[in-house]
Structure 1
């Protein structure tokens, strides 16, 4: 009987340790790569919802950053990983001008951008706290924008924001030829239900500094020919 109780006691300890280990592994769960996502402002604004320019004025006619999003290879993604994390604008005070230029908000009502950046940090950035603190997250994302000039790449291929329609394959090929990597492309529709170039996804390795081949591409709802609207 004594031996039996001793066995049960040992078994309970092993099971308890297993649960502790499982919880630890789940809390330290890592992501596989980042999506670096840029938005074409002409397509954001050219919908029935329209847009509002930020308080600093109309943004440049260029792709703007949407975010840097941790992702898993199966297509799922973590979000809101640290409910205790609070966005602290003082940590990015020296980056604000760069953010307003490269990561502008177009949401309504008109604002300075802090709400947009706060959302991106809390939803996505907190899931990369093993790599970045808040300031490093925004700094690394801005550096990625400097590494790939999507608008110039497309213009070099004769694809311009002139309200004309371009073959989706031509857009994808131009970016792949210039960067070495196949992008993900998302489209939205204007009030006339035209499919238009909306967002471009590039994949980045987990340190957040180098582009890589995408383990999985987002499923874009694009027509074979898409409009590239003016802005």
Structure 2
């Protein structure tokens, strides 16, 4: 009991008098417990919504930053068919920056290798059963998607760091909370039910307009949503955007308008049933279509309208031979980039890094324009243009005085 009181008093910066006073100890305990609810810190009711504050909010356990826009994302996968026939499946909960850019794989020390074993250690059988039904991976390995989503996005959430929990909280409670909240938000956004209630149901013959789909979901969600179609003009993704008041765990998620324009045609949108779909044989090559799984692209990475190119370690160089890079489809979307030295990522200092032992990150690639991007950042930057024999680090975004697009140029 004494050690608990000492912990409480230390955590609340209450000094211990020469003569131990039980009333002071009880006051410290009361102050401590009032600041924690269900093991996670209780946040003030008057804290502003993310992305709406005029001044810096210092308490990161009560204010999600820099990822102040929370996206709940759902997929309709029919080839191969994934999940129930009458349900979009959960893909993830993503923290985007207020301008639509985003961070990923923010803290390697927080990454996990098994979501299932963590949830089982907490006795979360019901949650695991729900996830196995609604949080599906197209390749059949659902847990690999769960692990990927936490490592890529959960490690970027500041309000569920372990330091935001009481000292006696069981380790990994924050990871359980990430999965619980993701499922809870998903269950409150029944996309299939909302569409079906307005007569928008899977069909091999019927097509729909973008306005029909957007208006239906907006009426239920309260704000415009983002919908995305694939190369068959078929709806495949729905994203719901929120601001957040408080923490990821027990904060209030306020619907906001999507930060992106929907990527679907105005008319003729298909809602393909999850059974019996056979893709049509291609009659021509569409440069904007995705690279088939297993296929790779080869080329040089060159800062557009600038001298030189990117060399195999990921730096910008102007005096030697350009390095050869390959872009291959990543397991969960986007592309992995690799040079002769190894895979590429954005390092802890924010610069492109390629080398042995590097865990690959997901980059985006626009096949029509040939541009490589990262984290929703369409340009890259550097402190200066490389002179003879100098190697200059480059970073995604607009942080440096020299900005450019990064282009994949065929060899």
Q: TM-score, normalised by structure 2?
A: 0.43
1:147 match? 188
CA change 1:162–1:199 in 2 (3 A) is same
**Candidates 112, 116, 119, aligned match of 2:145:** 116
Which 4+ stretches in 1 moved above 6 angstroms? none
Paired residue secondary structure (2:74): strand
Question: C-alpha deviations, 1:14-51, integer Å up to 9, x for none?
Answer: xxxxxxxxxx9xxx952211111000122xx2xxxxx3
CA contact (8 A) 2:243 2:256 kept: no
Q: Is the 8 A contact 1:86 1:122 kept in 2?
A: yes
Comparing both structures, which one devotes a greater share of its residues to helix?
1
1:79 aligns with 2:104: yes
Matching of residue 218 in structure 1 with residue 260 in structure 2: yes
Contact 1:70 1:127 in 2 (8 A): yes
Q: Does 1:183 align with 2:225?
A: yes
On the 8 A contact 2:111/2:155 being kept in 1, the answer is no
Of 98, 105, 110, the match for 2:137:
105
Name the SS for the 1:116 alignment partner: helix
Unaligned 5+ segments in structure 1 are 1-23, 46-50
Give the Cα separation in 1 of the matches to 2:182 and 2:90.
8
Deviates more, 1:80-89 or 1:221-230: 80-89
* 1:169-218 Cα shifts (integer Å, max 9, x gaps): 110000111221211111112xxxx311010010123344524113x522
What is the alpha-carbon distance in structure 2 between the residues aligned to residue 156 and residue 218 of structure 1?
Answer: 25
- In 2, Cα distance between the equivalents of 1:129 and 1:96? 24
Which structure is higher in RCO with an 8 Å CA cutoff and minimum separation 6?
1
1:19-30 superposed matches below 5 A: 29-30=65-66
**Are 1:186 and 1:219, in contact at CA under 8 Å, matched by a contact in 2?**
no
Q: Distance in 1 between matches of 2:237 and 2:212?
A: 15
Looking at structure 2, the residues matched to 195 and 158 of structure 1 have their Cα atoms a distance apart, in angstroms, of 19
- What is the number of equivalent residue pairs in this alignment? 186
* Aligned position for 2:388: none
Q: Give the superposition deviation at 1:139.
A: 0.3
Q: Deviations over 1:124-151 (max 9, x none)?
A: 1111142362111110010011112111
Q: Aligned-pair RMSD on alpha carbons?
A: 2.2
SS of equivalent to 1:121: helix
Secondary structure at the residue paired with 1:130?
helix
Structure 1 residues 156, 29: closer, same or farther in 2, change over 3 A? closer
Counterpart in the other structure of 1:48? none
Residue of structure 1 in register with 2:157 after alignment: 128
Among 270, 277, 280, the residue aligned to 1:227:
270
Shift of 1:72: 1.2
Judged with a 3 Å threshold, the aligned counterparts in structure 2 of structure 1 residues 211 and 91 are, in CA distance, closer, same or farther, namely farther
Q: Per-residue CA shift, 1:151-173, capped at 9, x if unaligned?
A: 11001111001132100111000
Q: Which has the larger radius of gyration?
A: 2
Is there any run of 5+ residues in structure 2 with no aligned partner, and where? 1-57, 59-63, 162-173, 275-411
